[in-house]
Structure 1
Amino acid sequence: MIELKTAKEIDKMAVTGQFVAHVLATLADSAEPGVNLMQLEHQARAMVADRGATSCYWDYSPSFGRGPFRNVICLSVNDAVLHGLPWDYVLHSGDLLKLDFAVSIDGWVADSARTVVVGDSADAADTALIESTRRALAAGIAAAVPGGHLGDISAAIGEVAAAAGYAVNTEFGGHGLGRTMHEDPHVPNRGKKGRGMVLRPGLTLALEPWWGRGTNRLTIDPDGWTLRSADGSNTAHSEHTIAITEHGPRVLTTT
């Protein structure tokens, strides 16, 4: 079922979104060479507790994971792209770190992700990869207008990937959200314009373009969560929570 939110409810989601954006910005600044992923996890836990927020990841048990997820943030490095389970890993200069974070505050959820290069030795191809997901996210947001179709968003995202030469996996993509982290509809990162449900004011979505420098196929780690590119190529992921309003798209996960 898809629930359209009122303007006041969207404002409440924006409060959550501001906190999500603040946490991601703080952790991105902390992600320096020599920092352990578990340090970032515990920093996120402390920020969640201080704010009185509720993690959407802690005890999350979807069909594609192995048992409850017992962390508050997904941290995926280099070829890992989604659902990265934080572990005892020390970051190195040049690592591509994906931070994906979702919480609920006063019953309203926001979800966002960003990719950063650790240190100051970024590879040009990795930088181009990250920028492509950011451009695709901006294109998807621009297509999220009342009267349009869900396929318009997917097509806008996929066109950016195709133009840059990246293959798109449609198994995991964007999604509805609001009172819970994952709600209908599914928003694939590739689609056709004019297809799918009509976009109406009050619809809230998490748009999340992600892909790798090589294949669009994924493998899963023995931890039962972390998804990696099947060919070991580096990956990137960008995500915002947005609301469709009468005046166009509103990004909720900004500071």
Structure 2
Amino acid sequence: MSFRDRGIEIKTPEQIELMRVAGRLVGDTLELLRSSVRPGITTGELDRIAEDNIRSGGGVPSFLGYGHPPFPGTICASVNDEVVHGIPGDRALVDGDVISIDCGAIVDGWHGDAAITVAVGAVRPEVLELMRVTEESMWRGFAAARLGGRVSDISHAVEQYVRSQGDYGILEEFTGHGIGTAMHQPPNVPNYGRPGRGPKLVRGLALAVEPMVTLGDRHVHLLEDDWTISTADGSWAAHFEHTFTLTPDGPWVLTALDGGEAKLKELDVPFGGR
């Protein structure tokens, strides 16, 4: 079965460059939001900051109006035990909260998608450690990616790192994904599994890798708003995401402002961008 038969979109180098433009805008927006998070700000205010920055940067929010029912925000704003897809509104953040912010933008028809989890004031040490583990597992996934390898090599690396750090829950119902002219495309990128499985990692494939990890059980449920996903046991969660691709030189993280160069160097992984 070919990539086209599976619905997998392979980009030219020129198209990857266009995705980098969208990725930079997402990365810039998330850094603006990170600096804006403070006790007292509402998730709706953060949403307005994000929309203004995306539109002023020549982009269109990916999430606004997406899905059924249509998503009403520019960002997903998920607080504490909310893992993903939280709807921004009048909730004011308080000292000790954590907020996971997922953001997507379209520029000239190409998508970027990334997420961060941010501490609000003084946060419990075990929550800060959860955030560290979740973010690091994402980078370990990038580090495991090689041209000619398989998608599940990424999945396995994410899971192995999380398991090595403690008794955390890894969501199974929600995964990373292919991305390009649509926000969600094949193939799925789970955050667990055996290596050596799934589609081959080839030049021109762009993937969003996004570990979602909890302090407790992995099970989740859908809230009454038909969007927000919360942990079933009330444990707190973290979510990190970047869009990346592989070049002959190595990984290139399209939504990281430096392309991922600094972190990949720290992991002794060749940097594939410029």
TM-score tier, shorter chain, comes to over 0.9
Look up the match of 2:254: 252
Contact 1:157 1:209 survives alignment (8 Å): yes
14-23 vs 163-172, which deviates more? 163-172
Q: Which residue of 1 aligns with 2:28?
A: 22
Equivalent runs, 1:22-171 vs 2, <5 Å:
22-61=28-67, 66-119=68-121, 121-164=122-165, 165-171=167-173
Counterparts of 1:160-199 in structure 2, within 5 Å, are: 160-164=161-165, 165-199=167-201
Q: Is the 8 A contact 2:212 2:237 kept in 1?
A: yes
CA distance in 2, matches of 1:230, 1:88: 24
RMSD over aligned Cα atoms: 1.0
Cα distance in 2 for partners of 1:98, 1:6 equals 32
Q: What SS class does the counterpart of residue 160 from structure 1 fall into?
A: helix
Q: CA deviation at 1:49?
A: 2.1
Aligned-partner Cα distance in 2 for 1:254–1:196:
26
Q: Distance in 2 between matches of 1:177 and 1:187?
A: 11
Aligned residue in 2 for 1:224 = 226
Q: Deviations over 1:20-74 (max 9, x none)?
A: 011001011111001111111111121122123111111111xxxx511121110
Partner amino acid, structure 2, of 1:150: V
Give the number of equivalent residue pairs: 250
Higher relative contact order (CA 8 A, sep 6+): 1
The one-letter code matched in structure 2 to 1:107 is: G
Where does structure 2 lack aligned partners over 5 or more consecutive residues? 1-6, 258-274
Match of 1:211 among 210, 213, 216: 213
TM-score under structure 1 normalisation? 0.96
Runs of 4+ residues over 6 Å off in structure 1: none
Which SS does the other structure have where 1:170 is aligned? coil
TM-score of the superposition, structure 2-length normalised?
Answer: 0.89
**Contact 2:26 2:54 (C-alpha < 8 Å) held by counterparts:** no
